[in-house]
């Protein structure tokens, strides 16, 4: 299955994107440390966002048919860029918080499912992924 996303340069380092199937839109801006105003997500912020939302979605796909409740789960992603050229994402540190009420079997299954996230699997091997789970 393919999905078309149209991206348009709007000027002043801003872009707009339209998700073909739904018509949903989003905007990007260059980050402040790379000539932008950081008025919204940067393109590399969207990579970090994709990772966090993918982890939660994959865990939801695992949880739903098993009756495991993970509402309120959270993924906090910290993105670190390289300090030397070429500019790229160096590290993505993700802390996933899940309900403390989950038993060991549910925890193990959810953690295993998260590690199969398609976004994580799509990252370049030079990007360090630091994934931890908390039960609160």
pTM beyond 0.75? yes
Among 69, 17, 66, 19, which Cα is nearest to 41's? 17
The fold for domain 42-135 equals GMP Synthetase; Chain A, domain 3 (3.30.300)
The sheet that has 74-81: what strands, in order across it? 74-81, 89-98, 128-135
Domain boundaries, the chain: 1-41, 42-135
DSSP secondary structure of 68-123: ---TT-EEEEEEEE-SSSSP-EEEEEEEEEE-TT--HHHHHHHHHHHTT-HHHHHS
**Tokens at 73, concatenated:** 């789960």
pLDDT per position in the chain (136 positions), as tens? 899 999 999 999 999 999 999 999 999 999 999 999 999 999 999 999 999 999 999 999 999 999 999 999 999 999 999 999 999 999 999 999 999 999 999 999 999 999 999 999 999 999 999 999 999 9
In the numeric block, the tokens 């939801």 are attached to 60
């Amino acid at each position: 299955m393919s999905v078309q996303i149209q991206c348009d340069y709007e000027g002043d380092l801003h872009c707009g994107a339209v998700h073909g199937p739904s018509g949903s839109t989003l905007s990007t801006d260059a980050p402040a440390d790379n000539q932008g105003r950081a008025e919204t997500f940067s393109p590399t912020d969207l990579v970090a966002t994709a990772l966090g939302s993918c982890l939660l979605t994959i865990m939801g796909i695992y949880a739903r048919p098993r009756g495991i409740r993970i509402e309120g789960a959270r993924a906090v992603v910290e993105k670190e860029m390289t300090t030397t050229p070429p500019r790229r994402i160096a590290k993505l540190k993700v802390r996933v918080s899940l309900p403390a009420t989950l038993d060991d079997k549910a925890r193990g299954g959810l953690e295993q499912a998260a590690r199969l996230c398609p976004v994580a699997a799509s990252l370049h091997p030079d990007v360090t992924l630091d994934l931890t789970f908390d039960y609160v």
